[in-house]
Amino acid sequence: MARVSKEESPCPLSILVGVLSGPWTLYIVWVLSTNGATRFGELKRRVEGISTKMLTERLRLLEQEALIYRHYEPTVPPQVTYGLTDRGKELVGILNQLNDLAQRWYGQPDVAQVGCTFVDTVETAATDAIR
Amino acid sequence: MARVSKEESPCPLSILVGVLSGPWTLYIVWVLSTNGATRFGELKRRVEGISTKMLTERLRLLEQEALIYRHYEPTVPPQVTYGLTDRGKELVGILNQLNDLAQRWYGQPDVAQVGCTFVDTVETAATDAIR
DNA sequence: TAAAGTAGAAACTTTTAAGTAACTAGCCAA
DNA sequence: TTGGCTAGTTACTTAAAAGTTTCTACTTTA
């Protein structure tokens, strides 16, 4: 997490923005919001270029903040599925607003780039990746 | 700015979150939003513990992103005043929402800490610090 | 018997960003 | 003429975070 101030206990908003600003974090949340719950390996494939270490670290953080859940299925090989919690979905709602601003300010008109749109498909896509 | 992904041109939302997540940045925006336009020295006094270097750097960045403006008055000694632009005010609106979430999730009920609330006083306080 | 797939953990290196401190210009007042 | 005010800039140091690589357990398949 990027430090936000010198203080040990930054304010709630700083905590939240700190979480979101970590590398890859928005990308991961975006994939989970458009794709629904996703397994570790698939997540790693979709978030191109991320290392397992980083992905694990980010997922742990997001889980700790209760923005995503982790579902462990002790099959062989094991299946671990990650998805947005209600908190996560609530957050995505606001992120969409923020994204609208950002698109207006920085976005080129020629369509969003891969991994760069927050769309409201959280509800509909939430279950089709577990199988 | 904390790196958000490996790519050279991250998506608009990443840019925006990247700006906000820099150290002190939210604090500075918060001061400008509650206090109205503020001069460099006063800003430095209000954002306790920040170095001139950091403050300058953050202000330059925010100015570059058109979230704040810089007004230079070539008096002796010179007076430089910083304030939120329309963009900045628009952003603060959404930050308030985000702050509401954050308060609900992380906030202790016992009042906000210093420097930790986003309130809607942008319009009313915007001019009383220039003088 | 060896390889491949899953979801990581641990050790190590490199990079980058944040902090510290000293310095500047221009004028004024004592 | 020394110091103080403002709003910075520059150079240097240090600490944290990101990246890279190698390793694991477990079972199935070839």
Structure tokens at B3: 């790196």
Residue with more model confidence, A64 or A125:
A64
**CATH code (residue B40):** 1.10.10.10
- Total count of domains within chain A: 1
Q: Which two tokens stand for residue A43?
A: 């997540």
Q: Is residue A55 part of a domain?
A: yes
Which strands form A68-73's sheet, in the order they lie side by side?
A: A38-39, A79-84, A68-73
| Mean pLDDT of the region B44-56 | 93
- The number of C-alpha atoms within 13 Å of B77 and in the hemisphere containing its C-beta is 5
Q: Is B3 part of any domain?
A: no
A contact residues 13-32, partner B, Cβ 8 Å cutoff: 13-18, 20-27
Q: What is the pLDDT of residue A15?
A: 87
Residue A78's domain comprises 12-92
Q: Tens digits of per-residue pLDDT, B77-121?
A: 899 999 999 999 999 999 999 999 999 998 765 444 445 545 444
Is position A23 within any domain?
yes
* B65, part of any domain: yes
Residues within 7 Å (Cβ) of strand D: A 1-3, 22-24, 50-54, 76-77; B 2-3, 6, 39-41, 52-53, 56, 59-60, 70, 77-80
Mean pLDDT over A92-99 rounds to: 94
Residue B78 lies in a domain: yes
Distance CA B128, CA B131 (A): 7
Res A60 pLDDT > 50: yes
Which pLDDT score, from 0 to 100, does residue B11 have? Answer: 83
Q: Is residue B112 in a domain?
A: no
Please tell me which residue lies nearest to nucleotide D6, judged from CA to C1': B77
Q: 3-class DSSP state for residue A101?
A: helix
Question: Measured from the CB, is A2 under 7 Å from any atom of strand C?
Answer: yes
From A13, A103, A107, residue closest to B98, measured CB to CB: A13
In the numeric block, which tokens belong to residue B29?
């925006």
Q: Quote the CA–CA distance of A4 and B26 in Å, as a whole number.
A: 8
In a domain, A24, yes or no: yes
Residue B53: the pLDDT is: 94
Give the model's confidence band at B7: pLDDT under 50 very low, under 70 low, under 90 confident, else very high: very low
**Is pLDDT of A58 > 90?**
yes
B51 vs A106: CA distance, rounded Å: 30
pLDDT at residue number A107: 77
Q: What is the percentage of chain B residues whose pLDDT exceeds 70?
A: 74
**Is a pLDDT exceeding 60 seen at residue A7?**
no
Within-domain flag for B28: yes
What gap in Å lies between CA B66 and CA A26, rounded to an integer? 23
